Structures are given as structure tokens and as C-alpha cells.
Amino acid sequence: QVQLVESGGGSVQAGGSLRLSCAASGYIMYKTTFAWFRRTPGKEREGIGCINSFGRIDYRDSVKGRFTISKDNAKRTLYLQMDSLKPEDTAMYSCAAVSASWCPAVVESEFRYWGQGTQVTVSS
């Protein structure tokens, strides 16, 4: 059974850091592309970045230099390291996956499998 489970969310002050994890099961890791998304109330889900099966990563401009996506195939885990957090980063963060070698457009409709999400709250 394909499953994604996020963890690591919480509350932090502006300028702080958090690392989110996404445990993946039921996937062939080297044939799967993963992504991180976030959603704030009243807004559409926003793609943060994507890591393809070869490890190449693409980021949304607003998080470049602050967020780092990585994965550990042996641990079957995807990570999102978030540094220099801002209040506008407050959102529900979710990981997603698709059976593909390359990143599609990082939009909700391109990813088939989703985790339940973990809340990140950044206070000023």
C-alpha cells in the first residue's frame, strides 16, 4: 500500500528553523518523484519544490536559499529543511509523490499520492 506520512511540524519564531520529514512506503524510491507543497486557509495549494528520482531538485523562487529538499532512499524518507522562517511561511505542509523519473509541473494535479500534512506556524 502506497503511503506518505509527514512529521516535524510545529511552532517557531521568525528566523528559526524546522525540518519536516516524510516517510514513504509502498514506493520504488528510485522510480518516484517527490514534492513538498503548502497551503494556507483560503488559498490554493502551493508547490515548494520537487526532487526527481535522480536527485535533481527544483525550488519555488520564494523559498530558494531558505528551504532545502533532500531524500534518503535507504531510509525511504523525504526531508524539507526550512531555515530563516518567516510568518508568511505559516501553512499546512504536505509531501506528495508521483510514479515518474522527472519532476512534472509542481502543481497539485500532477501528483497522485499525498500525505496528511503537518502544520507549521511561524510567529513574528
Residue 2 confidence (pLDDT)? 79
12-15 contact pairs (CB < 8 A, 24+): 12/85, 12/120, 12/121, 12/122, 12/123, 13/122, 13/123, 13/124, 14/85, 14/86, 14/87, 14/122, 14/123, 14/124, 15/84, 15/85
pLDDT tens digits for the chain (124 residues)? 779 999 999 999 999 999 999 999 987 777 899 999 999 988 899 999 999 999 999 998 889 999 999 999 899 999 999 999 999 999 999 999 999 889 988 899 999 999 999 999 999 9
Q: Calculate the alpha carbon distances from 74 to 26, 43, 78, 96 in Å.
A: 13, 35, 11, 18
Tell me the C-alpha distance between 15 and 53, whole Å: 31
Nearest to 34 by CA among 123, 111, 122, 120: 111
